[in-house]
Amino acid sequence: MGKMFKKVLVANRGEIAVRVIKACQELGISTVTIYSEADAMAPHVKLADETKCLGDPTSTESYLNMNKVIDAAREFKAEAIHPGYGFLAENAKFAERCEKEGITFIGPGPKVIRAMGDKIQAKTTMEKANVPVIPGYHGEDQSDATLIKEGKRIGFPLMVKASAGGGGKGMRIVRKENELKDAIEGARRESKSAFSDDTLFIEKYLEEPRHIEFQILADNKGNTIHLYERECSIQRRHQKIIEEAPSTALTPALRKKMGEAAVKAAKAVGYSNAGTVEFMFSKGDFYFLEMNTRLQVEHPITEFTTATDIVKWQLRIAAGQPLTLKQNDIIQRGHSFECRIYAEDPENNFMPSTGLLEELKLPQAVNVRHDIGFDSGQEVTPYYDPMLAKLIVFGENREDAREKMMWALSNYVTMGINTNVSFLKKVMEMKPFIKGDITTHFIDDYLKGWSLTKGGIPDEVLVAVSIFDFLHKKTIDAGGTVQVVGMDEHTPWKSVGSWRIGQGGGG
């Protein structure tokens, strides 16, 4: 059995850095965290045992700077680096650097990261392993003529995708033959700009698609299991905002079949550590989409429904310890939802919102979990992803969990910046969502052009805001912090004499 690490550097920020630090603390591991100048007051900096400022807040000069991260690990004598998700988490070159430096990279090896990061290679590997893939063209000939020819062969509608893509970049839906050439050119340009790689592939576009993924755990001894599925179909701009476990679409037989396919996919590439096999599901059939070689944002709903701490297992496996869990040990129970709380404006095409997070109050209840990387009084900057936090709930069944999430969203208070909390609540109260009748097109189908005011702000809310604004005078200190300093001295409420509400005459 491998000996547990004494010190781990957490190469990330925000809520995922906090999550990893807490897992390390529970295992008795000392932590080092890195931060940029913009994150000097962030919770992950306060939580760690030791910290290192990497300077400039731009990602390339801080969290994406391999040399600075490696230097920090050496300076503080960290034995391992946990990359979280995003930034360097799926960077094969960084995993190789860690190997050369004698530092354990907490994740799969660089060969696996590279193989699964190339979507064309990944699909070819899965085809050989008899894992279902979406019909399409993944060939080396990238000429427009060949792509157009293959597109016609596959049939419409279809998807043109960037091989190195992610987050919806380099992706086009093509419904008619005369749209194909422009889609190829546009996807190629966008892919080249975003990923320095203009390789494309084409796939059949699935009708009424659902995005269902399976969590994998695998050790270095050949043991591989899955922790069942997560439904991630509620997306905006190809990014997930609400996830749940289990999926309402799967029967026990289908769940078993997909779980076995996920394990087969992981074994086909010699996978180790935590990972996720993503499938597209349409009308009873499922197809391999991609494999995420890292911890997923939505891992907490799996932790709730399987009573398994995925981050701790990442640490144990990376330290050389065997996976003692067997597939039969994993029982899926209850239901869990996760809502991603973004600093963004849903009424303005979900544009990021920056500024001072004046106030943050979180609802507290049984089986309500907050994974959060911000505090009240902290600046939300434009340098990083606008996700502030994750709100996760667990219930005895789906409706119990949904009601709990509705309550939690109703009592989630953020002041100073725009968030998507009201939008999330609207999604969860819609009849198709309540029925579990969801696809990846849900938001476009039901909530395109959504506006809070269209839904109607309750009169009592408008009255309360007006009274608060009238009664309180605000000042802004030198640091830009808004402070309420008390009742406006000119308010008539200061000179009402002996008059009191409810003490008038008459019967």
Angle between helices 66-75 and 92-101 (to 10 degrees): 30
Torsion-angle region of 279 (φ positive above 0: left; ψ -120 to 50: alpha; else: beta): beta
Q: How far apart are CA 446 and CA 428, in angstroms?
A: 12
- DSSP H stretches of helix in 76-228: 92-101, 110-117, 119-128, 144-154, 180-195
Strands (E), 358-458: 359-361, 368-372, 378-380, 387-395, 413-415
Q: Does the annotation mark 97 as catalytic?
A: no
If 0-12 CB within 10 Å is exposed, 13-18 middle and 19+ buried, where does residue 303 land? Answer: buried
* Pair type for strands 80-82 and 7-10: parallel
Of residues 92, 89, 78, the one with CA closest to residue 50: 78
- Reply yes or no: is the peptide bond before residue 246 cis, omega within 30 of 0: yes
Half-sphere exposure of 407 (CA within 13 A, CB side): 15
Q: How far apart are CA 318 and CA 95, in angstroms?
A: 13
Within 10 angstroms of residue 172's Cβ, the number of other Cβ atoms is: 21
Q: Which of 19, 230, 294, 316 is catalytic?
A: 294
Within 10 angstroms of residue 105's Cβ, the number of other Cβ atoms is: 25
Half-sphere exposure of 418 (CA within 13 A, CB side): 15
Q: How far apart are CA 196 and CA 190, in angstroms?
A: 9
* Pair type for strands 136-137 and 210-218: unpaired
Q: Which residues pair with 214 in a beta bridge?
A: 229, 277
Helices (H) and strands (E) in the chain, counts: 17, 25
Half-sphere exposure of 7 (CA within 13 A, CB side): 16
Q: How far apart are CA 38 and CA 193, in angstroms?
A: 26
The residues, ordered by sequence, that sit 6+ positions from 84 with a Cβ below 8 Å of its Cβ are: 10, 11, 12, 16, 17, 19, 20, 294, 295
Catalytic center residues: 294
